[in-house]
Amino acid sequence: MKPFLLAAFLCALLSTLTMAQIDTLKGAEEARLSDQLLNEVTILGQKARSLPGATQLLSSKQLAMLNQPNFNHVLRLVPGVNIRDEEGYGLRPNIGLRGTPVNRSAKITLMEDGVMIAPAPYADPAAYYFPTFLRINAVEVRKGSSQIKYGPYTIGGVINLLSTPIPESFQGFAQATYGSFHTNQQRIWIGDSHEHFDYLFEINRFATTGFKQLDGGGNTGFERRDFMSKLRWHTGQQAAIPQSVTLKLLNFTEEGNEAYLGLTYQDYKDNPWRRYAATQKDRISMNRSEVSLSHVILPAKGLSITTTAYYTYTFRDWARVNTVAGQALNNILANPIAHRNAYLVMTGQANGNVDYQSAERTFHTQGIQSTVQYHFTTHRLVHHVQAGVRYHKDQADRYATRSTYAMTNGVMVLTAAGIKGNAENQIRRASSIAAFLSYDLIFKNLKISPGVRCEKINLEFLNYGNGDNARLGTALRTATNQLTVLLPGIGINYDLTSEMNLFAGLHKGFSPPGMPSVTSTTGQARPEFATNYEIGYQLDKKHYALQLVAFLNNYSNILGSDMVSTGGMGTGNMFNAGKAQIKGIELTAHYDLLSIKGTNTDWHLPLRFVYTYTHATFGETFMGAGGDFGSGQISKGDFIPFVTPHQWAATLSLESNRFDFTAVARYVGTTRIKPGQRENIIVPSDNISFNDVNAIDKFLLIDLSGNYHFHKHLTAFFLINNLTNNKAIAANLPNGYRPNMPLSFNFGLKTNF
């Protein structure tokens, strides 16, 4: 309890000395401070154009029009985003922002309602858990200098998912969907606000039999269930000291028949949606519980204090084929002819042994964060003093167990159950105290926002060895690491007019170095640091808008990681890759084509276009240690893999009071999967070895969605994914080529009451 007492003391000290608050997580104007008690936690809290740094908001209205359950598809409507698709449903997004590595979204800060959601953000940040997107009400994305408030990953950016808010009066919502591959979803919530007590209860179910076709038949889908509740007590609107207390509870479960193994190129050509017989036992089981308690108080004019304590428990076991007939999967994929017997076993055409690995992991996080804000005026100056402090602990308990199955006439039969932990047996622990202080000075049209973030992090790694199932410590190897970082930054925003502004930012970005290693042959990983610059222009008018941003991230040390999901050996080790430079341009444009003077204002035809250019190269020569960046010598000037240079997305909607229809086009340019120079692009094709391929070819996907409002309480809707049934390769990881979802249809009804 001592760390919590220390954190509480720091909270009180900060509020006394600085009378400040984190940029919201309620952030609003002084005149609306009392309304914060009835609002949910947000980052933006005000118009994005008033903030220093590039920000985007995908509103509840936009999400309702898209009817899209795949978060990957929705997030591609935001510039500066890199995504590697994996299973076709967006259940575990691989997201990078402004060139950060995409794998398991481990290099960005993911939050829900302002609280970190990665299972163990410091000790084991891979985001195997991701909320069911159908229950998310809105999405906020922040990049640039102001994100230093939302660490620990401050180089790329932060994504904050906003759950269903408590309504201001009694309200309910129900939705049911059915479509291709027996995909079905049910969602219902009810909520109400009273004089002192408010509530919300929500239930979600999302399931499918899957679009992939398993050799010999079988379910390749999943089932997810979510239950969320929010209970809030608050004072009356006229209270001398307004305050509220909110309890949020969440329970999540998933059972999925998802595999790590993809396809060879020839098999992909024959049937992109095939799954090999060796994956018939592949399963992912996950459950998660969350509880948070938030207190908001407005003790004086211009002053608000928000304090949140949180705890999460996550269990995940992803069991899958590991080797076949003694051969590594990548060896078989690289040359199925040379490893013909193993290939025949993998496809169920021959009998043989299949090595099967269960990867059981249990995660715990707990913490308390307090944020305060004070704003006041002196003569012609407006001042916003903001500060926050967070104490956080997390732990990842990892067991991996290998067993043996016999592939017999296309069916896998267990022949030797492994002893728990015989492939991995370790604990990863982390704790941190983080604080920030920022000051916004506003004079007329100019806003200057200097700030600083400080983190003190302790990391502990305990490897018990694969033979110590009871964890007696007979072969225990340990390693620790402690670091303290100071991260300054400054942002500037200048309003040219009431609808137009310029902004610029400079900040020092940081990512933790991961667990200290007891096995690394390339030395311990150092923290990841980058000096980040951006400059932008924004125009925001009633019928059209524009945002244009240029950014540059200069890394003094960029990190790679060795994980199975990145094509590595799975040690989890981080390794230093030295200097790197990532720069680019982000463009967002919006125009209502029916906004011409004199047209019928009941009809709208908004066109939205998003484009991202990213140029990412290594700044020095080094030896790769597998995973993200590959093995062997990687040369100065080589392109960083999995950073797509050219991406764009466009939406065109026809809207009226009765209905809306939206077409979405998403283009992903040719993407390198290995470091290299510009001239040697090799995409998958006939007579090209799997190991020789260094890029995934470009592709374009088109979706259609629509809503028809029978009346204000009942809406019918549809979604068509991949309208042209594009069979382009979406990714080469983990272990082989993977498709996008094929042409599919979803239909449903929504009702609110």
Q: What is the pLDDT of residues 276-285, one digit of tens each?
A: 999 999 999 9
Which residue range forms the structural domain that includes residue 437? 2-484+491-515+527-752
Closest to 570 measured CA to CA, from 210, 196, 150, 104? 104
What residues contact residue 135 under an 8 Å CB cut-off, 6+ apart? 163, 164, 187, 202, 204, 226, 228
What whole-number distance in Å separates Cα of residue 607 and Cα of residue 577? 41
Q: Which two tokens stand for residue 554?
A: 């200069």
Does a structural domain hold residue 520? no
Per-residue pLDDT for 2 more than 60? no
Per-residue pLDDT for 41 more than 70? no
Does a structural domain hold residue 128? yes
What whole-number distance in Å separates Cα of residue 164 and Cα of residue 60? 9
What residues contact residue 523 under an 8 Å CB cut-off, 6+ apart? 575, 576
Task: Determine the pLDDT at residue 631.
Answer: 85
Per-residue pLDDT for 725 more than 70? yes
Confidence band of 497 (pLDDT split at 50, 70, 90): very high
What whole-number distance in Å separates Cα of residue 155 and Cα of residue 508? 8
Closest to 148 measured CA to CA, from 442, 385, 319, 388? 388
What whole-number distance in Å separates Cα of residue 111 and Cα of residue 108? 10
What whole-number distance in Å separates Cα of residue 286 and Cα of residue 92? 12
Does a structural domain hold residue 157? yes
Does a structural domain hold residue 303? yes
Does a structural domain hold residue 522? no
Task: Determine the pLDDT at residue 35.
Answer: 52
pTM for this prediction: 0.93
Q: Helix (H, G, I), strand (E, B), or coil: what is residue 5?
A: helix
Percent of the chain with pLDDT over 70: 91
The chain-wide mean pLDDT, for the chain, equals 91
Task: Determine the pLDDT at residue 598.
Answer: 58
Does a structural domain hold residue 74? yes
pLDDT per position as a tens digit, 78-120? 999 999 999 999 999 999 999 999 999 999 999 999 999 999 9
pLDDT per position as a tens digit, 181-194? 999 999 999 999 99
Does a structural domain hold residue 151? yes
Per-residue pLDDT for 25 more than 60? no
Highest mean pLDDT among 36-45, 346-355, 601-610, 682-691: 346-355
Total structural domains in the chain?
Answer: 1
What residues contact residue 378 under an 8 Å CB cut-off, 6+ apart? none
Task: Determine the pLDDT at residue 715.
Answer: 98
Task: Determine the pLDDT at residue 22.
Answer: 31
Does a structural domain hold residue 521? no
CATH number of the CATH domain containing 508 = 2.40.170.20
What whole-number distance in Å separates Cα of residue 437 and Cα of residue 308? 18
Task: Determine the pLDDT at residue 44.
Answer: 54
